[in-house]
């Protein structure tokens, strides 16, 4: 019996709704394997928690998250709950610093059945991963920017050798893994603004140094502005992209739009000792409380969690549970039974969750258990 302690942080806005469905899917998949013993603990964090107890990320929550095998997170922050300096609460970003989650992995893949987003563009060309550095860059200034005399505002960009080396290594490792699973050569694109900023030229220099250790993986370079255009026009030319925090943040909202939008975009924030899995989207205040948030991004994040943890603990059953979730989502989307309003359908959050659980219980994706495709692709 393999025991897994999963910390669950629903958070704010649509977070609790999508987490509810993510947890149901996770349980339904893991219940298929008697060897898996899943212990879930719900932890408080978010703007709502700040309103209740004065801290968006309580110390006890960080400690419990640190002790857990992995964290499944909804979304955090509310536009109306701000610090005195006007910035929003972002405990999910603070958590990345506290747990040293330096690699934000955002797979973007089109699933058959998802309506095309761009007119005239075949979405099946989209199959890439954005790897976002998640502990430095401009976000290193979180809570530390200054406004001088009400005239000048300064946030500083921080790029370190160690931070760049480790995120670039993560990108090349991810490319190698994808290459083995897809049977195609791997490639990593360094996205920067090395023509203008010294910090970015340094990022590219370190990228090149790391790339020397991966002669089997191709490499390329894009300036972030041109990259944004090429992602829209020719997404098929990209495999893995690696970028500093802010550029990665922007590209990892842009790229999912090519494959159906934020409602089906999962993500993982991974460090050496911990990992948090959460949808790429935020708290979506415009649709919060309406029961129409798409939970698939969270459900797919739960699949990534099974894949990562299964790999880490050498547990083929947990990896297979991840593939079952992925398979259920794939078959439901192909059959048109998982389309919420964001994908042109009418299914509510709970109806989508019900259908994923039904598909998992019916075993529709069981034939995928033996497939090599992981739930993190
Ligand atoms: P953050 O800054 O935390 O990323 P945000 O407010 O910029 O948050 P999101 O909360 O991600 O952005 O929302 C962006 C848009 O995408 C909104 O119009 C929102 O309704 C939509 N959206 C986000 N998540 C979902 C979802 N799960 N289902 C449907 N629509 C969503």
Ligand 1 centroid to residue 281 C-alpha, Å: 5
Q: Is 130 exposed, middle or buried (0-12, 13-18, 19+ CB in 10 A)?
A: buried
Q: Is 344 exposed, middle or buried (0-12, 13-18, 19+ CB in 10 A)?
A: exposed
pLDDT tens-digit profile of 278-306?
A: 999 999 999 999 999 999 999 999 999 99
Q: Distance between CA atoms of 358 and 331, rounded to whole angstroms? A: 12
Going by alpha carbons, the residue nearest to atom 13 of ligand 1 is 284
Q: How many CA atoms lie within 13 A of 20 on its CB side?
A: 15
Residue of 95, 139, 284 to test ligand 1 pocket, by largest number of atoms within 8 Å of CB: 284
What pLDDT does 187 receive? 98
Query: Is residue 277 a contact partner of residue 265, using CB atoms and an 8 Å limit?
Result: no
Handedness of CA 243, 78, 296, 357 (dihedral sign): positive
- Please say if the pLDDT value at position 324 is more than 90: yes
- Please say if the pLDDT value at position 260 is more than 50: yes
> Could you tell me which residue, 210 or 154, shows the higher pLDDT?
210
Mean pLDDT of the chain: 93
Ligand 1 centroid to residue 213 C-alpha, Å: 38
What pLDDT does 141 receive? 78
Element (H, E) at 72: strand 70-75
Domains and CATH numbers, the chain: 1-112+260-377 (3.40.718.10), 116-259 (3.40.718.10)
What pLDDT does 46 receive? 97
- Please say if the pLDDT value at position 370 is more than 50: no
> Could you tell me which residue, 126 or 122, shows the higher pLDDT?
126
> Residues 155, 157, 159, CA angle at the centre, nearest 5°?
160
- Please say if the pLDDT value at position 118 is more than 90: no
Pocket of ligand 1 (CB under 6 A): 14, 18, 77, 262-263, 281-284, 286-287, 293-294, 297, 342
Ligand 1 centroid to residue 120 C-alpha, Å: 25
Q: What is the mean pLDDT of residues 340-353?
A: 96
Query: Is residue 129 a contact partner of residue 235, using CB atoms and an 8 Å limit?
Result: no
Alpha helix (H) ranges present in 31-112? Answer: 47-53, 59-67, 91-98
Q: Are strands 36-42 and 103-109 parallel, antiparallel or unpaired?
A: unpaired
Going by alpha carbons, the residue nearest to atom 5 of ligand 1 is 282
- Please say if the pLDDT value at position 368 is more than 60: no
Dihedral-angle region of residue 345 (phi above 0 means left; psi in -120 to 50 means alpha; beta otherwise): beta
Chain-centroid distance of CA 320 in Å reads 20
> Residue 121 — pLDDT band, cuts 50, 70, 90?
low
- Please say if the pLDDT value at position 308 is more than 90: yes
Number of Cβ atoms within 10 Å of the Cβ of 362: 11
Ligand 1 centroid to residue 279 C-alpha, Å: 10
Q: How many CA atoms lie within 13 A of 219 on its CB side?
A: 22
- Please say if the pLDDT value at position 355 is more than 60: yes
Query: Strand (E) positions, 234-336?
Result: 240-243, 266-270, 275-279
Going by alpha carbons, the residue nearest to atom 3 of ligand 1 is 282
> Residue 332 — pLDDT band, cuts 50, 70, 90?
very high
- Ligand 1 atom at shortest distance from the alpha carbon of 14: 27
Residue of 75, 254, 281 to test ligand 1 pocket, by largest number of atoms within 8 Å of CB: 281
Ligand 1 centroid to residue 219 C-alpha, Å: 32
Q: Count helices and strands (H / E) in the chain.
A: 11, 12
- Please say if the pLDDT value at position 122 is more than 70: no
- Please say if the pLDDT value at position 345 is more than 90: yes
What pLDDT does 364 receive? 73
CA dihedral 154, 155, 157, 160 (to 10 degrees): 110
Q: What is the mean pLDDT of residues 312-324?
A: 96
Ligand 1 centroid to residue 28 C-alpha, Å: 26
pLDDT tens-digit profile of 103-112?
A: 999 999 999 9
What pLDDT does 120 receive? 64
What pLDDT does 188 receive? 98
pLDDT tens-digit profile of 15-51?
A: 999 999 999 999 999 999 999 999 999 999 999 999 9
Number of Cβ atoms within 10 Å of the Cβ of 87: 12
Ligand 1 centroid to residue 75 C-alpha, Å: 10
What pLDDT does 377 receive? 62
Q: Distance between CA atoms of 19 and 295, rounded to whole angstroms? A: 7
């Amino acid at each position: 019996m393999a025991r897994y302690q999963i910390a669950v942080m629903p958070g704010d806005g649509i977070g609790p709704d999508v987490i509810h469905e993510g947890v149901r899917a996770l349980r339904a998949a893991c219940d298929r394997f008697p060897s898996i013993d899943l212990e879930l603990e719900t932890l408080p964090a978010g703007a709502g928690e700040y309103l209740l107890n004065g801290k968006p990320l309580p110390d006890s929550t960080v400690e419990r998250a640190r002790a857990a095998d992995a964290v499944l997170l909804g979304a955090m922050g509310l536009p109306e709950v701000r610090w005195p300096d006007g910035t929003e609460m972002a405990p999910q970003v603070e958590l990345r610093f506290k747990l040293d989650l330096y690699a934000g992995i955002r797979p973007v893949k089109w699933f058959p059945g998802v309506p095309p987003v761009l007119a005239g563009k075949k979405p099946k060309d989209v199959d890439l991963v954005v790897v976002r550095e998640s502990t430095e860059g401009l976000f290193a200034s979180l809570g530390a920017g200054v406004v001088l005399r009400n005239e000048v505002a300064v946030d500083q960009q921080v790029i370190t050798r160690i931070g760049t080396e480790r995120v670039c290594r993560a990108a090349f490792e991810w490319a190698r893994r994808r290459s083995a699973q897809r049977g195609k050569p791997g490639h990593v694109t360094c996205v920067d603004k090395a023509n203008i900023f010294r910090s970015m030229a340094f990022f590219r220099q370190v990228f090149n140094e790391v790339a020397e250790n991966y002669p089997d993986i191709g490499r390329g370079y894009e300036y972030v502005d041109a990259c944004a255009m090429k992602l829209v026009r020719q997404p098929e030319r990209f495999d893995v992209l690696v970028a500093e925090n802010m550029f990665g943040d922007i590209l990892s909202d842009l790229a999912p739009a090519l494959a159906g939008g934020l409602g089906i975009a999962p993500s993982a924030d991974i460090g050496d000792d911990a990992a948090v899995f959460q949808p790429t989207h935020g708290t979506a205040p415009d649709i919060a409380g309406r029961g129409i948030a798409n939970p698939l991004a969270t459900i797919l994040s739960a699949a990534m969690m099974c894949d990562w943890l299964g790999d880490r603990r050498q547990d083929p059953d947990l990896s297979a549970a991840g593939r079952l979730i992925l398979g259920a989502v794939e078959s439901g989307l192909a059959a048109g039974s998982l389309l919420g309003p964001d994908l042109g359908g009418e299914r509510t959050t709970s109806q989508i969750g019900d259908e994923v659980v039904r598909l998992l219980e019916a075993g529709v994706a069981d034939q995928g258990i033996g497939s090599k495709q992981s739930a993190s692709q």
